[in-house]
Amino acid sequence: MYERDISRRDPGCVVFLLDRSDSMKSTWVNSHETLAQGAARVLNEILLELLFTSQGEPGKARHYFDVGIFGYGIRPMAGGEGVEPAFGGKLAGQPLVALPDLRDNPIAVRETPSVDVGAPPSRVPVWVEPVHGYRTPMCQAVAVAGAHVYEWASAHPDSFPPIIINITDGMVTDSPYEGANLEEWAQRLVNIQTSDGPVLFFNIFLSPMAANGVLFPATDYGLPDPGPELFRISSLLPPPMIANAQSTGTMVEPGARGFGFNADATMLVRFLEVGTKVDVRD
Question: Site residues (CB under 8 A) for other proteins?
Answer: 2-5, 7, 10, 146-147, 150-151, 153, 157-158, 188-189, 191-198, 239-240, 242-243, 246, 248-251, 254, 266, 279, 281
Nearest Cα residue to 154 out of 4, 8, 13, 5:
13
Closest approach, Cβ 186 to other proteins, in A, equals: 11
Axis crossing angle, helix 182-190 with helix 138-155, rounded to the nearest 10 = 10
122 versus 191: smaller Cβ distance to other proteins: 191
What is the C-alpha to C-alpha distance for residues 216 and 219, in angstroms, rounded to an integer?
9
Distances (CA, A) of 208 to 38, 43, 44, 213: 10, 17, 20, 11
Closest approach, Cβ 185 to other proteins, in A, equals: 8
36 versus 267: smaller Cβ distance to other proteins: 267
Q: Residue 108, Cα to own-chain centre: how many angstroms?
A: 21
87 versus 185: smaller Cβ distance to other proteins: 185
Q: If you ran DSSP here, which 8-state letter would residue 26 be given?
A: P
Closest approach, Cβ 190 to other proteins, in A, equals: 9
55 versus 187: smaller Cβ distance to other proteins: 187
Q: If you ran DSSP here, which 8-state letter would residue 29 be given?
A: T
What is the C-alpha to C-alpha distance for residues 78 and 276, in angstroms, rounded to an integer?
29
What is the C-alpha to C-alpha distance for residues 51 and 69, in angstroms, rounded to an integer?
15
Closest approach, Cβ 280 to other proteins, in A, equals: 10
10 versus 66: smaller Cβ distance to other proteins: 10
What is the C-alpha to C-alpha distance for residues 42 and 47, in angstroms, rounded to an integer?
9
55 versus 193: smaller Cβ distance to other proteins: 193
Distances (CA, A) of 254 to 218, 219, 243, 276: 7, 10, 12, 20
Closest approach, Cβ 211 to other proteins, in A, equals: 8
2 versus 134: smaller Cβ distance to other proteins: 2
Most distant pair of Cα atoms in the chain: their distance:
57
Closest approach, Cβ 16 to other proteins, in A, equals: 19
Closest approach, Cβ 188 to other proteins, in A, equals: 4
